[in-house]
């Protein structure tokens, strides 16, 4: 065979090869050197902002999950509630919440000074004073990037309450409660723990918020469920439960996948640093445990749903994923990945069993928020004792203290709102749907609503009676 002619390298190609070699040499040299303070500052700040954006996107997940779970006549209100609560949470946390949670925290609360601002050095640097660079980078991260990351957590807490009370709570009553929850209730719990208050000093552990975020939202939701009551005809006179299937199953499933994605920011970002190899390695460990916990929750719920609920229940399986995620959130930094599988699987079991328990107690939770966030949150907080170094007594004290405070204050706030504004829509509004009654807009105007199953049976019986 005649050998093929190979042209010599062009000057441009040779220059590219030379440049690539120089870059490799520089990278190799940098790998052996210590990361500079400014580089550490940049990486840490970038991590806060990116992971915070992931968590913010969980609001879209909650919106899809809730809008698909309710009947079509209430989907528009769900969308408004979720964009409203995120906005209110951000303003409330900026106005007072962050300072109450993190600034000058004593044993119980932080500063009540309004409005959190960047440091004087950061403001000077933004104003063009390059001499402040060293002072700014010494802190390790931008203060406002940390605020943004923490703010997305408080919005998640408020989203938990939204789904539980769907289809019967008044829009403005819910938004008022959201303001109190995000400005005061959640920040006080955060001051006790992440703000290094009395529970932190006791030794209570909650890496990314099984109790601080999820159980707080779960306790607030439970108080609301009790105060607002169940949807009309949800529980029949004979004690049986009327099935209210979701209006859009694909949207619910999409919402769960979005939440799963956002959870990587939730747990991975809680490393609170990306300034070196140790932090990067820890983040990889956190994301793997998060993913395994969710997957185990799915499988456990899939296996358990038929014997417990009488069918392979898609909604139970989807909530099993969330229960596994909540369960592993308190201790995702554990090293043994097999423990994440165990903790996530139990989280899925607790969630499915909790859904059944609420039905038997005649407590109407539209999306299963209480089993997912409260029950699985309690389990995850206790599971820290298995492999993440938690002390059982300290963990139990933290669970009880947060539960008593959040549930008690939430009941009081709901009661005050009920006496002043009312918390529940009228029977006529509930029958017509909040979309038309409160917003004057339907989510699916071109769709024909199917008649209610019980109404169909009653009409059929009446027709047969007339015929006979």
Position 408 in a domain: yes
205: three-class secondary structure by DSSP: coil
Position 273 in a domain: yes
Which residues partner with 241 through β-bridges?
A: 235
Q: pLDDT tier at 26 (50, 70, 90 boundaries)?
A: very low
Position 60 in a domain: yes
pLDDT reading at 76 higher than 90: yes
User: What integer pLDDT is reported at residue 34 of this predicted model?
Assistant: 63
User: What integer pLDDT is reported at residue 459 of this predicted model?
Assistant: 55
Distance CA 377, CA 370 (A): 9
Q: pLDDT tier at 431 (50, 70, 90 boundaries)?
A: confident
- Unique residue bearing structure tokens 């079991």: 349
Handedness of CA 19, 22, 28, 34 (dihedral sign): negative
Distance CA 113, CA 111 (A): 5
User: What integer pLDDT is reported at residue 232 of this predicted model?
Assistant: 87
Of the chain, the percentage scoring pLDDT greater than 70 comes to 88
Distance CA 378, CA 215 (A): 7
User: What integer pLDDT is reported at residue 20 of this predicted model?
Assistant: 44
Q: Are 377 and 207 in contact (CB under 8 A)?
A: no
- Number of domains within the chain: 1
User: What integer pLDDT is reported at residue 118 of this predicted model?
Assistant: 81
User: Helix H segments across 234-362?
Assistant: 249-268, 277-309, 314-329, 337-360
Which residues partner with 424 through β-bridges?
A: 169
DSSP state of 315: H
pLDDT, tens only, 215-271: 999 999 999 999 999 888 888 877 778 888 888 999 999 999 999 999 999 999 999
Of the chain, the percentage scoring pLDDT greater than 90 comes to 63
Handedness of CA 248, 253, 256, 261 (dihedral sign): negative
pLDDT, tens only, 90-149: 999 999 999 999 998 988 998 888 898 888 888 888 888 888 888 888 888 899 999 999
DSSP state of 275: S
User: What integer pLDDT is reported at residue 439 of this predicted model?
Assistant: 85
Give the CATH number for residue 259: 1.10.3430.10
pLDDT, tens only, 339-366: 999 999 999 999 999 998 998 899 999 9
Q: Are 152 and 56 in contact (CB under 8 A)?
A: yes
Structural domain boundaries enclosing 347: 37-107+119-439
Lowest average pLDDT, out of 34-43, 392-401, 447-456, goes to 447-456
Q: Are 48 and 142 in contact (CB under 8 A)?
A: yes
- Unique residue bearing structure tokens 């009920």: 418
Which residues partner with 235 through β-bridges?
A: 241
What is the DSSP code string of 415-467? Answer: HHHHHHT-SB--HHHHHH-HIIIIIS--S-TTSPPPPPHHHHHHHHHHHHHHH
DSSP state of 468: -
Mean pLDDT of 307-329: 90
Position 281 in a domain: yes
Position 74 in a domain: yes
pLDDT, tens only, 59-68: 999 999 999 9
Distance CA 321, CA 42 (A): 34
Q: What angle do CA 370, 375, 377 make, to 5 degrees?
A: 105
Q: What angle do CA 453, 455, 461 make, to 5 degrees?
A: 105
User: What integer pLDDT is reported at residue 21 of this predicted model?
Assistant: 41
pTM attached to this predicted model: 0.85
pLDDT reading at 9 higher than 60: no
Distance CA 442, CA 72 (A): 8
Position 112 in a domain: no
Q: What is the 3-state secondary structure (H, E, C) of 148-187?
A: HHHHHHHHHHHHHHHHHCCCCECHHHHHHHHHHHHHHHHH
Position 458 in a domain: no
Position 387 in a domain: yes
Per 3-state DSSP, the chain is made up of helix, strand and coil in percentages (nearest 5) of 70, 0, 25
CB atoms within 10 A of CB 454: 11
User: What integer pLDDT is reported at residue 464 of this predicted model?
Assistant: 63
Q: Which residue would you say has higher pLDDT here, 450 or 29? A: 450
pLDDT reading at 288 higher than 70: yes
pLDDT, tens only, 163-217: 999 999 999 999 999 999 999 999 999 999 999 999 999 999 999 999 999 999 9
pLDDT, tens only, 367-381: 999 999 999 999 999
């Amino acid at each position: 065979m005649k050998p093929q002619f190979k042209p010599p390298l062009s000057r441009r190609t040779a220059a590219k090869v030379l440049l690539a070699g120089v870059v490799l040499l520089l990278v190799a040299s940098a790998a052996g050197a210590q990361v500079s303070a400014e580089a550490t500052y940049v990486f840490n700040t970038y991590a806060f902002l990116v992971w915070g954006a992931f968590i913010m996107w969980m609001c879209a997940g909650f919106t899809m999950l809730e809008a698909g779970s309710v009947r079509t006549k209430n989907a528009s209100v769900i969308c408004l509630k979720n964009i409203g609560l995120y906005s209110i949470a951000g303003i409330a946390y900026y106005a007072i919440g962050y300072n109450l949670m993190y600034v000058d925290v004593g044993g119980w609360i932080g500063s009540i000074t309004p409005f959190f601002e960047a440091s004087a050095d950061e403001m000077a640097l933004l104003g063009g004073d390059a001499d402040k660079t060293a002072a700014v980078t010494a802190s390790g991260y931008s203060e406002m990037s940390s605020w943004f990351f923490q703010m997305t957590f408080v919005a998640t807490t408020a989203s938990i309450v939204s789904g539980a009370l769907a289809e019967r709570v008044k829009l403005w009553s819910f938004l008022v409660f959201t303001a109190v929850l995000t400005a005061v209730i959640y920040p006080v719990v955060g001051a006790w723990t992440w703000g290094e208050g009395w529970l932190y000093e006791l030794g209570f552990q909650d890496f990314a918020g099984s109790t601080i975020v999820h159980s707080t939202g779960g306790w607030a939701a439970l108080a609301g469920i009790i105060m607002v009551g169940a949807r009309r005809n949800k529980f029949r006179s004979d004690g049986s439960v009327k099935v209210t299937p979701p209006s859009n199953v694909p949207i619910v499933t999409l919402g769960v996948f979005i939440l799963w994605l956002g959870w990587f920011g939730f747990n991975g970002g809680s490393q609170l640093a990306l300034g070196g190899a140790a932090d990067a390695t820890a983040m990889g460990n956190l994301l793997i445990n998060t993913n395994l916990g969710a997957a185990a929750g799915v499988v456990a719920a899939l296996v358990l749903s038929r014997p417990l609920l009488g069918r392979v229940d898609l909604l139970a399986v989807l909530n099993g994923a969330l229960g596994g995620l909540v369960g592993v959130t308190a201790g995702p930094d554990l090293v043994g990945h097999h423990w994440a599988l165990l903790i996530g699987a139990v989280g899925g079991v607790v969630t499915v069993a909790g859904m059944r328990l609420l039905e038997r107690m005649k407590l109407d939770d539209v999306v299963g928020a209480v089993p997912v966030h409260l029950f699985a949150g309690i389990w995850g907080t206790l599971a820290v004792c298995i492999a993440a170094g938690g002390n059982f007594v300290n963990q139990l004290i933290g669970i009880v203290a947060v539960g008593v405070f959040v549930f008690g204050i939430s009941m009081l706030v709901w009661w005050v709102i009920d006496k002043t504004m009312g918390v529940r829509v009228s029977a006529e509004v509930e029958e017509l749907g909040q979309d038309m009654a409160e917003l004057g807009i339907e989510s699916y105007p071109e769709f024909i609503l199917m008649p209610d199953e019980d109404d169909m049976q009653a009409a059929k019986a009446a027709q047969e009676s007339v015929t006979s």
